[in-house]
Amino acid sequence: MGQHWQELVPIDRYIVATSGLLHEYDRKVLTFLYQPLIGSTCLSLYMTLWGEVEENKLWSESSSHHLLMNLMSMNLKDIYDGRLKLEGIGLLKTFVKEEEGERSFIYELQPPLTPEQFFLDGMLNIYLYRKIGKNHFVRLKRFFSVQKKPLEKEYNEVTKPFQDVFESVSTSSIQYFQENSIDLESDANKVFVGRGKQLEIQIDPAVFNFELLLAGLNESLVPKKALTKKVKEVISNLAFLYHIDSIEMKNIILDAIDEENEINIEELRKSARDWYQLANADQLPGLIERLQPVAHQSQQTQPKTQEEKLIRYLETTSPLQVLKDLSGGVVPSNSDIQIIEEVMFKQKLLPGVVNVLIQFVMLRTDMKLTKGYVEKIASHWTRKQVKTVKEAMDLAKNEHRTYLDWSNSKKSGRSTKQKPIRTEFLPDWFDGENSKQGENIQHENDVNLEAKKKEIEEKLKAFRK
């Protein structure tokens, strides 16, 4: 996928549509359940588009993206990025038409999940739990639920069925309706105003290797008919959420088989969650395990050079895995994970960019993550609007001296007369020129210091004469 300016320009026009009526209660669901996951910018975009649709209508008037930029006081890139997030989380469908060199869009707003769907989703609720913590998560569950009344125990149902209340029409009435049947038919060019169906988040089953899974499952233990369409969808979501491969998924499925040789979906989710928490010190997955969005991946082809291979690795690996790899497979400490999570949430850096930041800082500071140093560089990259791995690598090369000064300024208690002794470690993606510059920077400082001292001595001699 190209850059945002290839996908969208200010003069492109758009119409907002809604998949049925959106209700006032949806605002609370979006604010308290979706906003922690997508951020305030995405929520603002959704609300702005929603505001363009008049009450009890399904379509807005045509507008230009330039007007949307002015309404939101936001640049086009941020609007485009927000649109992608809304699409990814299931709140927006986008349609485009190109005609005579002009491009127009339809933004169809999708209703959010109901609280029941959200808290039982199996993926979004896990991310929300990890993002806001147990106490706030439980509080939100109470906010969106009410105590169930035991009507079945205290009351007997006496509701009359339809046939006991109404009679069927007479023969003459049926003939009348047949003569005017055209009025009873629906208009193919119109739709009724109503509530659209909430679509749950679904990872494409094609992403998961079901062939390898079936090859490892014994037909006598798990019959193929047990892998229904719904079960496959749940497996795909769980594999994405918990990073479970086909081999490990086999054991999780075996734990979820019931006495009728069917796969219990709730047991399957519980088994996957237990497996992940056992492997990750009782933690649940967070956004630190996300990968670089495809829209911001530059290395789409088979990598050939070492740099292309490294870019591909940083684009297809989560920040948590990069931390593990740099530590020789050891699970990172909670403090290191917290530093990276805060950078991703507060500075809004994409996972691939965070991977470059981790590698650069760890190798520059003797394999230590210093919170202040990480946040200072992250803040700089945010202001520079770094979105891709290549942009982050290039900026790190160009600003190497500046970041070195920042690192030195953090160190205290060193006499200005002392010569700092330090071994420089630099990531592999630094080119030869920059690497040589990093390795010789201390030598250059020494030479400059000697020249300065000699200049001062000459001036003192001249002054005495």
The residue written with tokens 């997030």 in the block is: 85
- What pLDDT score was predicted for residue 106? 95
Tell me which residue of 131, 123, 121, 110 sits closest to 32, measured CA to CA.
131
Q: Any idea what DSSP says for residue 413?
A: S
Q: Which residues contact 259 (CB under 8 A, 6 or more apart)?
A: none
- What is the C-alpha separation between 138 and 142, in angstroms, rounded? 6
Q: What is the pLDDT of residues 149-206, one digit of tens each?
A: 666 567 787 888 877 887 665 555 555 555 555 555 666 666 555 566 666 666 777 7
Closest CA to 203 of 176, 232, 163, 165: 232
- The residue extents of the domains of the chain are 4-112, 118-146, 205-285, 288-465
244-250, long-range: CB < 8 A, 24+ apart = 244/272, 244/275, 244/276, 245/209, 246/208, 246/209, 246/210, 246/212, 246/213, 246/216, 247/212, 247/216, 248/275, 249/208, 249/213, 250/213, 250/216, 250/217
Residue-wise pLDDT for 325-334, tens only, equals 887 877 777 7
Phi, psi at 198, each rounded to 5°:
-75, 125
Highest mean pLDDT: which range of 5-9, 213-217, 266-270: 266-270
CA 34 – CA 271 distance, rounded (Å): 26
Is the pLDDT assigned to residue 422 strictly greater than 60? no
Give the C-alpha separation, 141 to 119, whole Å.
8
Q: Which of 88, 172, 71, 80 is nearest to 127 (CA)?
A: 88
With H, G, I as helix, E, B as strand and everything else as coil, classify residue 389. helix
User: What is the Rg, in whole angstroms, of the alpha carbon atoms belonging to the chain?
Assistant: 30
pLDDT at site 310: 86
Tokens for 92? 């927006």
**Residue-level pLDDT at 92:** 93
pLDDT at site 419: 46
pLDDT tens for residues 190-212?
655 556 666 666 677 777 888 88
Is residue 296 predicted with pLDDT exceeding 70? yes
Exposure on the CB side of residue 15, measured as CA atoms within 13 A: 14
- pTM assigned to the model: 0.50
pLDDT tens across 28-45, in order?
A: 999 999 999 988 999 999
Instruction: Tell which CATH classification among 1.10.287, 1.20.1630, 1.10.10, 3.30.420 matches the domain 4-112.
Output: 1.10.10
Q: What are phi and psi of 424, to 5 degrees?
A: -90, 125
Helix (H) or strand (E) holding 92: strand 92-99
Q: What proportions of the chain, in percent to the nearest 5, are helix, strand and coil?
A: 55, 5, 35
Q: How far apart are CA 213 and CA 235, in angstroms?
A: 11
Give the pLDDT confidence score for residue 44 in this predicted structure: 95
Per-residue pLDDT at 289: 59
